[in-house]
Structure 1
Amino acid sequence: MLQTKIIPRMKEHVHVKSLLILAMCFSYIVHYLTNSYFVDYFLVGLCVLVFLLSIHVAKALPRYFGLGMFITGVAINVLKGTAIEGTANGILVNLPVMSLVILVPLLTIPFKIGGYFDSIHYYMEKFSHRLRKLFGSISIFLFCLGAILNIGTIRILHETIKDIKLAPEILAKSYLVGFSTVILWSPYFASVALVLYYLDVPVLQYLPLGLTLAIIQLVIGNLLFWVWLKQKKVSDEINSVLFYEKVKVEIEEDHRKNIIHLLFLLTFLIGLIFLFEFLTKWPMMFLVSFISIAYPFLWSITKQKWHEFIHHFTIFKETSVPNMNNEIVLFMSAGLFGNALTGTSISHGIKLFLNKIASISFLLFMIIVVVIILVFTFIGVHQIVVVTALVTQMDAGLVGTRPEVLALLLMMSWSMSAVISPVNPINLLVSGLLDKSGFSVGLRWNGIFLLVMLIIGSTFIYLIH
C-alpha cells in the first residue's frame, strides 16, 4: 500500500522537476531575445530552484564539489560587496552552456523517427567480417554523428552492434578514439561551447584548428589499432554470420540513400550554426540551444510526424531531462565560483603563475596546463570545474598566443581527460556498457593512444601558436 503511494509521488516529483528545468532553458532563450530586467531575476530564482532540486539527487562527488563551490562563490561575493548582483550574475554565467547540454538531445528525435539507425546497423554488419574496417566505421561514425547527438551516440551505437560480439578491448578503443575527436571540434559539444564562450572566439575562427586536430587524432587512433592487431597477432577476420547471405533480403540502395541523407543532415545542422552566427551575430551557444528546439519541431511538422515527435519528446522529458543532475550542479556552481574569483588575490595569483610559466616557455606552459587538467580530472574533479577555473584567469595575449590556439590547448586536454578519467561520464558510460573497470577502459587500453596524441597534439599546437 505504501509503495503504491510513493511511486506516483516520485513520478510527480520527476515530472515537476523536468518542467522546471525545461522552463529554465526556455526562459534563457526568452531572456536573451528580450533582455528584460524582470526575466533576469525570474531566471535567477528559477536556476536556484533547479539547483536545489538537483543537488540532493546528484552523485556524491558532483554534489560535494557543487555545494562547496556554490557556498564559496556566494561567500566571496559577500566579501567583495557584491552579494546580490555578483551572485546573480555568477548563477547565470554558465546558463548558456547548461541549456545547450540539456537541449541538444532533442536533435536525436528526427534521427530516430527517420530510421537512420537501421541503415547504420546495416553497414556495421556489412563491415563486421573485417576488424580494421569495423574499427574505422565505428570511429568515423562517432566522429560524425557524435558531433550532433553527443554522448548518447555511444549508447545508440552499442545497442546497434552488440550482436557482433566484439572483444571489450576493441570496443573500448573504437568508442573512445572516435568520441574523443568530437570533444575537439563540435560546436554542439559542451567542451567547445564552454571554452569558446569564455575566450570569446567565433566558431568559424576556431573550427579549422579543432577539426584538423580531430582528423589527425582519428587517423592516429586507427593506425595505432592496426599496429595493435599486428602486435597481438589478432586476425583481421571475424567469425560471424556471413552478411552477404542477407544482401538478397536487404535493399542496400535504400540504406545507401539513408546514409547520404544522414550525412547531409549533419552537414546542414553544423552549417546552420555558422550561417546564423554570421547573419545574426548571436552567440554560438544560444544558436545551438535555439536550433535544438526549433529544428526537431519544424521537421516534425514538415514531415507530418507530429505524433511521433510528441511521443519521443515525452520520453526525452521523462528520462533525459531529470538525469541532468550532475551537469546542472557542476555548471551552475562552477560558473558562480569562477565568476566570483575574478578580481580576487587568488585570481591574480593564478594569472601570475600561468603568465610566468608562459614567459619561460610556451611549450612548458602547454605541458603544465595539460598536466593540471589530467591530474585533477583523474582524481574525480570534473573538467567543467578545472577548465572554468583556468580559462577565466587566462589571457591569450599575455601568454603569447592567439585565443583560438589557447582554446585548442584546453580542448585537447579535455579530450584526453575524458578518456583517462575513470569518473568521467564518457569513461563511465563505456566501462558500464562493457562491464569493465574505468581504469582498464581508459588508461590501460587507450594509454598509448593518449601518449601519442599528447606528443602530436602538443607539437601541432606549438607550431601554430
Structure 2
Amino acid sequence: MTEIITRTRSLSTFGLSLLYLSNLFLKSELVNELCFVLMIAVMLLSLPAISGISRVIGYASLGLSAVLFLLYRAPLSVWKQALTGNLYLVALFTMVPILSIPIRHGGYYPALQDFFRRYVYTNRRYYVMVSFTSAFVGVLVNLAVVPLVYQIVQASEISRNKKLMSSAISRGFATCAIWAPTTAAVALVIQVSGANWGRFAPLGILCGVISGIIGYAMTKFKENESGALKHVLPEDTKAHLMDHSMDHSMDHLEGGSKLNKIIELGAFSVVLIAAIAVISVVTGIQTVIVVSMAALTFPFLWMGLIGRLPVLIHDIKTSYFKNRLTKLSNEIVLFVGAGMLASSITFSELGNYIPVALSRLVGDSAFLLAVVVVFGIVVLSALGVHPIIPITIIGGTIQGSDFGVTSTYIALLLGISWSMGITLSPTSATVITLSGVSSRSPLQVGLEWNGLYVLVTSSVLIVVITGLRMVGWV
C-alpha cells in the first residue's frame, strides 16, 4: 500500500508540473482548474511523507496560514491563489533532478574522482577544488550537490578532515546559491522581489565570486596560523603516483581521456546556462520557467550527443520516478507552505507593519536596510528559523521603491541572506545533509564551522552592494 501511495505521489507531482508548464502556453481555464485539484492531491500525499525539521516548519506554515485566512474570512479564490502561487517552484523541483542524470551517467564521476586522486593533495588545493566543484555542480543539481560532491571528493585522502570537507562543500554551494537560476531559492527571490534575472545575475555572480575568495582566504589564514597546511599524502606516495603517471603511456592516455570528460562537462554546463539566459532575455519568459523547460529537454540533447540516450531514458523510467521524485515532499511542503504564509500575511494586512517597522529602523538609508535585512535573516537562521520563512515574508511585503532602492537591490539582499542562511542554519537541508556525512551535529557543522565565515562574508557583501548602488550599477 505504501509503495502505491509513493508511486501515486511521484506521478501526480510530475503530471502537475507538466500540466502547469504546458498551460503557460495553452492558457486553458480547464487545465488551470485541473492543476489546482492536482496541487491539493500532491500536498495531501506529501504531508505524511515529510520528516524532521521540515515537518515542523511545513505544518507550522500551513497551520498559521489557515488560521489567518479563516480569521480574516478569505474567499476561496484567495485560498486557491495562495496554494498555487508557488507552483512554478514545484515544477522546478520536479524537472531539475533530470539534469543530474547526465552528470551521474555521462562518465564524469570517474574523471573527477581521478583528478582529485592525482592532483589534490594539500589542504589549500583541496579546499579550492571542493568548493569550486560544489559551486559548479550546484548550479546543475541544486540541493543534490552535497551527496554528489561527497562521492566525488572521497577519492582524496584529505576528505578525512570532516571540517575542511564540510566547510568547502557548504561554502562552495553558497557561492552559486546567490545567483544560479536552477536553484529554487533564486527563483523565489526573483519572484518576490520582482527583479529581472538578466540584470540580477551578473551582480549575483560577482557576490558569489567574492564569497568564494573570502572562504579561501579564511581557510588559508587559519591553516597557516595553526601550521596545519601540509601535504596529507606522504612525499614518497606522491612521488610514486607522479612517476607512475609519467612512466606509463596508458596512464597518459587514460588521463587525457578523463581530462576530455571534465572539459566536456564544463562545455555542456556553460551552454546550458548561456541558453537559459538568452532564451529568457529574448522571449521574455520568466527565467524559472525556462530553467524547468531546459531541465526537461536539455538532458536528451546532452546524452544524445555523447551516445548515451538509452541510459537517460532507462534512468527516468526507473530511478527518477522511483527515487528522485519520491524525495521531493520536504521541498514541496516547505516552499508551498512559505508561499501560503506570505499570502495570508499579505491578505490579513499584517504585512503592512513590516515595511513600516523597517522604515522606522533604517529611514531612507539603503546601507542600513541591507544591514537589518541580511543580519536579521542570518540571526534568525542561526536560531533555527529556516531562511525561507523570513525571506518569503520580507520579499512579499516590501517594495524597493519604498526605500529608494531598485528591485535588483532587494533581490541581492535576499539572495545573500539565503546563501548565508543555509550555510549557517541547523535547519537547512545543506547543513543537515553535511551533518549526516560528517557524523557531526548540525550546530557544529553550521554555527561552529561556518559562523565566522558567514559574519565576515555578509559584512563584506553588504559593503560591496552598497558601493555598487552608489556608482549606479544596482
Q: Distance between the aligned counterparts of 1:198 and 1:220, measured in 2?
A: 28
Change (3 A) 1:404 1:458: same
Task: Indicate conservation of the 8 Å contact 1:24/1:46, yes or no.
Answer: yes
Change (3 A) 1:448 1:358: same
Q: Counterpart of 2:116 in 1: which secondary structure?
A: helix
What are the equivalent positions in structure 2 for 1:203-222 lying under 5 Å apart? 203-222=197-216
What are the equivalent positions in structure 2 for 1:302-341 lying under 5 Å apart? 302-313=305-316, 314-341=318-345
Q: Counterpart of 1:401 in 2: which secondary structure?
A: coil
**Which residue in 2 is equivalent to 1:142?**
134
Match among 121, 126, 138 for residue 129 of structure 1? 121
Q: 1:73-99: CA deviations, max 9, x gaps?
A: 345445555421111111111111222
Is it true that 1:55 corresponds to 2:79 in the alignment? Answer: no
**Which residue in 2 is equivalent to 1:268?**
271
Identity of aligned residues (%): 23
Is it true that 1:285 corresponds to 2:288 in the alignment? Answer: yes
Task: Indicate conservation of the 8 Å contact 1:184/1:192, yes or no.
Answer: yes
Q: Counterpart of 1:392 in 2: which secondary structure?
A: helix
What are the equivalent positions in structure 2 for 1:1-400 lying under 5 Å apart? 9-78=1-70, 82-166=74-158, 167-239=161-233, 241-242=237-238, 243-247=241-245, 248=248, 249-250=250-251, 251-313=254-316, 314-359=318-363, 361-400=365-404
Letter in 2 for 1:294: T
**Which residue in 2 is equivalent to 1:5?**
none
**Which residue in 1 is equivalent to 2:472?**
none
Change (3 A) 1:245 1:13: farther
Instruction: Decide which moves more: 299-308 or 98-107.
Output: 299-308
Segments of structure 2 that go 5 or more residues without pairing to the other structure are 470-474
Instruction: Decide which moves more: 358-367 or 41-50.
Output: 358-367
Letter in 1 for 2:278: L
Q: Distance between the aligned counterparts of 2:70 and 2:419, measured in 1?
A: 36
Q: Distance between the aligned counterparts of 2:443 and 2:55, measured in 1?
A: 23
Report the CA distance between 1:165 and its aligned residue. Answer: 3.3
Task: Indicate conservation of the 8 Å contact 1:127/1:134, yes or no.
Answer: no
Instruction: Decide which moves more: 213-222 or 195-204.
Output: 195-204
Q: Distance between the aligned counterparts of 1:223 and 1:106, measured in 2?
A: 35
Letter in 1 for 2:386: H
Q: Counterpart of 1:234 in 2: which secondary structure?
A: coil
Q: Counterpart of 2:363 in 1: which secondary structure?
A: helix
Q: Distance between the aligned counterparts of 1:448 and 1:457, measured in 2?
A: 14
Q: 1:48-78: CA deviations, max 9, x gaps?
A: 1111111112125433433343344345445
Q: Distance between the aligned counterparts of 1:76 and 1:444, measured in 2?
A: 37
Letter in 2 for 1:257: N
**Which residue in 2 is equivalent to 1:4?**
none
Instruction: Decide which moves more: 308-317 or 207-216.
Output: 308-317
Instruction: Decide which moves more: 416-425 or 9-18.
Output: 9-18
How many pairs were matched up? 457
Q: 1:200-248: CA deviations, max 9, x gaps?
A: 2222100111000110111111111111111111142112543325523
Change (3 A) 1:141 1:381: same
Q: Distance between the aligned counterparts of 1:309 and 1:231, measured in 2?
A: 48
Instruction: Decide which moves more: 338-347 or 222-231.
Output: 338-347
Query: RMSD of the TM alignment (CA)?
Result: 1.9
Match among 409, 421, 431 for residue 425 of structure 2? 421
Task: Indicate conservation of the 8 Å contact 1:405/1:464, yes or no.
Answer: no
Task: Indicate conservation of the 8 Å contact 2:157/2:233, yes or no.
Answer: no
Segments of structure 1 that go 5 or more residues without pairing to the other structure are 1-8
**Which residue in 2 is equivalent to 1:3?**
none
